Chains A and B, each alone.
Chain A
Amino acid sequence: MPVLRSREIPPVPPNPRKARYNVDPPSTPTQGREQPATRLSSPPSLTPSPKTDGSVYGSAPFSLRRSLRLYSKGSSNADDQFGLPAVEKSIGSRNGDVSKKRKLSGDVDDGDVNGGGGGNEVVESYMKGKSIAESEYIEKSERKDEIENVNRKRRFSREEKGKGKLVVETDLESEDESLVDVSFSDVELPAEEVKSPDEKLSKRSNRRTSGGRMERFRDAARRNASRFAYFNTREEEEENNNNLSVEAEREIPSVEEHIEEKVVEDWPGPFSTAMKIIRDRTANLNVRQGSSSSDQVPSVQIKWVPQKGKGKDGSKRLPPSLLDLSLRVLVDNADAIASLDHVPDAMRHKLCQMLCDSRQMNSNLLDLLLSGSPTEIRLRECSWLTEDQFSECFVKCDTSNLTVLQLDYCGQCLADYNIPSTLARSLNSLPALTTLSLTGAYRLSDAGLSVLVSSAPALRSVNLSQCSFLTHGAIEILASSLASVLLELFINDCQSIDAMLMLPSLKKLERLKVLSVAGLESVTDKFIKEIITARGDGMKELILSGCGKLTDSSLKIIAETCSSLRSLDIGNVPKLTDNSLGYLASGCRSLELLKLCRNTFSDDAIGAFLEISGEVLKELALNNVGKVGHNTALSLARRSRNLVSLDLSWCRNLTDEAMGLIVDSCLSLRVLKLFGCTQITDVFLYGHSNAKVEIIGLKLSPLLEHI
């Protein structure tokens, strides 16, 4: 077991191990796997350490493989690396097999141009605490970072391919990691699997040959032993975009267990795997930069180069469409409109929207809208409408064909006493009404709602947000007459509705698909548990923003029960931790829209979540999720092929390079919101090559158009 070995640093006689490197590598990974076992017993210079014991190898193939890999380094870097592996081993497997593997993969690449660099990199990445040793190597290697990255990348990718195959095949079938690995493999460069077994052998041989290095490392190990005791699971970035091997390597739960103490382990699976990979990536990065950047946080080196002239030319503007032009003229001359007959509903809505926004809507226009037998009335804003005007207009309105009635912010005009004369003139006055929105009707009470609902038996979507007078009795009314038809219910900010009191009625709504309880302080974990257990199967959309009392247990239940959830809004729920993302990743597989706002999720967790669920995601909002950083950017770039709308406002840790990588990789992206991201410069704005994306929120964009 590697753990045993960690305590001892066996002296390795400096035999010329390089000769071993030149042994013909096996042509297939399987062959390679077999060979080390046989070779273990053969070399005479092998020190009698448990590592080299064939039985050890047999019993813990992965760990041994790793140790072998540690030892074998690129041929060009043989000297440097001989001592390191032993020291690394001695330091222990604390850093996890994943990190070891990564290093091994990095080093193993024989054919890598920068073998010396590779070896050093491996060592560095492996030993977090061995900053001194690493720095020595760094100094010696004289690598530049770019070369390192490139080499590391190549090395890792090859390694990963080889390793991934070796490891995954044997250990990972039970997990989804194989899926992860396969997907990563698609991206990786063709791996030189041949190298892996060969490397293993060479590593072993390398280990034995360097004595001087060993001593140096031993000293370094002694100096840094105390630092190894601190296991930092929260590293930041990795420098290797294509470091898929890390993901493949994260198996070996036995070794990982003691490492993952900080992580709640009740969601094993692809998310924990992804998290480990990301942490190891940053761990490796940390290790490499150990001594030189002890204070500063290592930043992921995202490789993105702005390309001039390929993206949307900022100065060139598309001509406005004729539709927009004529709408603008119409709005300006709204009082001259004589009739809106024959104007299709979509046009009417656009016109109303522009009129309401410019405060030019008046009762005459409302009359025009209501003339004939309208099918849809959508008024975004009715605060200009007085009670009398409302009564006048709606008294003579033929509502028999009305399917959609939206009177937002109608508090001034709508009260209990004028409903019977206007909207609910008879029991069947709104027979076709399927969508009703009366937000802000602060004078509407349960009784008034009862009258209204009794006239509209076919209601499918009800929006009663901010109707502060309604109590749980309103939900009872809805449940009594609309239990079998109601699909959507929005009761944002209805402060008089107590969540637990309305629970029995809510459970009666058999076909509820969309539920919004945003801003209701009485929504607790218990409420979520009850309603989700009752209705979670069919739930498609949940809006829980602002429900400050919710914790991870609610998300756990949601993830477990709502398998067809498409849209989730958990903004402004501060108590949620990374575990919630873990639950979501493993549970809600068809999540297309996720809105986060001011949540405290870490960069690692979001990155890991995107690795798992990023493919299906169409809209993502990470508004003011301050810890978003390069891991998220990398995961977005890799995974989010279908992402259409992205909100990264106030994510101030993202650099131009990260943004550029995201925008150039997410080819479906059409809208990118960057309010408050003043760290983004023209380098990104004019250097990205995605011609279809619209960037909102930076200095050039008019703000109010996008509300």
Chain B
Amino acid sequence: MKKEDTVKLISAEGMEFVIDKEAAMVSQTIRNMLTSPGGFAEAEHGEVTFPEISAVILEKICQYFYWSLQYARGKETEFHIEPELTLELMMAANYLHT
């Protein structure tokens, strides 16, 4: 993965997740952050920090991004969510508009 095609998502604990830009763009919030004009730090450095989202949740969200791309390309599988995560995942998903 080239550096230009990736973004780094940083969780509350500081754990960093490097994923494809295309995958990150599944989230409308991240898409807006990265593409909005105005020279914001997120767009320039390709890094977005989420102080309220924990690493476990953020990891699950990244998994969802890739699953969503796969689904859109035709491979329709099931995305399993552990019940313990659902509440926080739901709130994070709402924040990320995904």
Contacts and interface: CB of A to CB of B under 8 A. Distances in A.
Interface of A: 316-319, 321-323, 325-327, 329-330, 332-333, 336-337, 340, 342-344, 346-347
Nearest to B84: A336
B71 interface: yes
B83 A322 contact: no
B48 interface: no
Contact of A323 (B68, B83, B93): B93
B91 A343 contact: yes
A512 B89 CA distance: 42
A316 B67 CA distance: 15
Contacts of A318: 72
B71 A326 contact: no
Contacts of B98: 321-323
Interface in B49-98: 61, 64, 67-68, 71-72, 74, 76, 79, 81, 83, 85-87, 89-91, 93-94, 96, 98
Contacts of A333: 83, 86
Contacts of B68: 319, 322
Given A321-B98, A325-B81, A343-B91, 14 more contacts: A316-B74, A317-B71, A319-B71, A322-B89, A322-B96, A322-B98, A323-B93, A326-B81, A326-B86, A326-B89, A329-B81, A332-B83, A333-B83, A346-B94
Nearest to B80: A329
A329 B84 CA distance: 10
A325 B78 CA distance: 10
Contact of A326 (B67, B72, B76, B90): B90
B87 A322 contact: no
B81 A321 contact: no
A330 B67 contact: no
Contacts of B86: 326, 329-330, 333
Contacts of B72: 316, 318-319
B83 A347 contact: no
A322 B71 CA distance: 13
Contact of A325 (B74, B79, B87, B94): B79
B93 A322 contact: yes
A322 B91 contact: no
Nearest to B28: A321
A519 B98 CA distance: 41
B41 to A, nearest CB: 25
B74 to A, nearest CB: 8
A63 B75 CA distance: 69
A416 B71 CA distance: 54
Given A322-B61, A322-B98, A325-B79, A347 B67 contact: no
B90 A347 contact: yes
A333 B98 CA distance: 22
Nearest to A319: B71
Nearest to B63: A322
Interface of B: 61, 64, 67-68, 71-72, 74, 76, 79, 81, 83, 85-87, 89-91, 93-94, 96, 98
B65 to A, nearest CB: 9
A321 to B, nearest CB: 6
A347 B91 contact: yes
A327 B94 CA distance: 11
A323 B94 contact: yes
Contacts of B94: 323, 344, 346-347
Nearest to B74: A316
A567 B61 CA distance: 41
Contacts of B61: 322
B83 A329 contact: yes
A319 B81 CA distance: 15
A320 to B, nearest CB: 8
B93 A321 contact: yes
A342 B94 CA distance: 13
B69 to A, nearest CB: 8
Contacts of A329: 81, 83, 86
15 contacts: A316-B74, A317-B71, A317-B76, A318-B72, A321-B98, A322-B96, A323-B93, A323-B94, A325-B79, A326-B81, A329-B83, A340-B87, A343-B91, A346-B94, A347-B94
Nearest to B70: A319
Contacts of A340: 87
A343 B71 contact: no
A330 B71 contact: no
Contacts of B74: 316
Nearest to B98: A322
B91 A342 contact: yes
B96 to A, nearest CB: 8
A332 to B, nearest CB: 8
Nearest to A343: B91
Contacts of B71: 317, 319
B87 A337 contact: yes
Contacts of B79: 325
Nearest to A315: B74
Among B61, B67, B91, B96, residue most surrounded by chain A Cβ atoms (within 10 Å)? B91
B25 to A, nearest CB: 13
Contacts of B67: 319
Given A318-B72, A329-B81, A323 B90 contact: yes
A203 B98 CA distance: 67
B53 to A, nearest CB: 12
A323 B68 CA distance: 13
A343 B68 CA distance: 25
Contacts of B96: 322
- Of B67, B79, B86, the most chain A CB neighbours within 10 A belong to B86
